[in-house]
Amino acid sequence: MTPLPPWRSPLARALHRNRSLPHLRFVQLATVDFQGRPHNRTVVYRGLVEETHQMQFVTDRRSEKIDHLLHNPWVEVCWYFTKTREQIRFRGTMQIIQIASALRQTAWERLSPQAKAQFCWPAPGALRSPDSSLEAPPILPHPPDTFCLLLLSVEQVDHLELRGEPQNRWIHHQVAGQWQTQAVNP
């Protein structure tokens, strides 16, 4: 197992301190389109792959973000913890897992029936037909082809604590595979 990155403990602490908030797992994911324009949307954080420290998310293969990621895998995830008044931004590259794997299957099994149903709906962003159904299909034991697991390999973390005097900010980044931390002005 790789050494624990220095941002893991602050993230675990923020998740623990804010655990009572229902929106805790919602983060903002920014991608870049073919023209270099930014796109931002909310996604659900699905945990870490312990051996690699990659962040997990899921999405529909037919969504716009997949085209963005295939063109440019660089992303930024921004998380704001309201109770502790912390912002943590994660920058890195996103890997798309579309083929059968134990990790993808486990991510599928952890979804609620309502979340699973969305992968059987008509294509996201397509014009809605009056006869299209958004009802829940029978529960599928294996993920459909539309289900993608996204893995963020974090290369830089910007952690800002807005509570307290003075406010604190740290930049964690990898240099030649080793993590370094710098305290910077908020």
Give the per-residue pLDDT at 22. Answer: 87
Greatest C-alpha distance within the chain? 57
Residue 22 sits at φ, ψ, to 5 deg, of -65, -25
pLDDT in tens, 15-68: 999 999 989 999 999 999 999 999 999 999 999 998 899 999 999 999 999 999
Give the per-residue pLDDT at 1. Answer: 54
pLDDT in tens, 78-97: 999 999 999 999 999 999 99
Among 84, 89, 78, 90, which Cα is nearest to 13's?
Answer: 84
Give the per-residue pLDDT at 147. Answer: 97
Taking the C-alpha atoms of residue 149 and residue 185, their distance in angstroms, rounded to an integer, is 36
Which residue type is seen at 26? F
Q: Which residues contact 16 (CB under 8 A, 6 or more apart)?
A: none
User: In 10 A of CB 152, how many CB atoms?
Assistant: 25
| pTM, to two decimals | 0.93
Tokens 């083929």: give the residue. Answer: 99
Q: Which residues contact 70 (CB under 8 A, 6 or more apart)?
A: 96
C-beta separation of 124 from 60 below 8 A: yes
Q: How far apart are the first and last CA of the chain?
A: 33
Taking the C-alpha atoms of residue 143 and residue 179, their distance in angstroms, rounded to an integer, is 35
pLDDT in tens, 121-166: 888 998 888 877 777 667 788 999 999 999 999 999 999 999 988 9
3-state secondary structure 2-36: CCCCCCHHHHHHHHHHCCCCCCCCEEEEEEECCCC
Q: Hey, is 80 helix, strand or coil?
A: strand
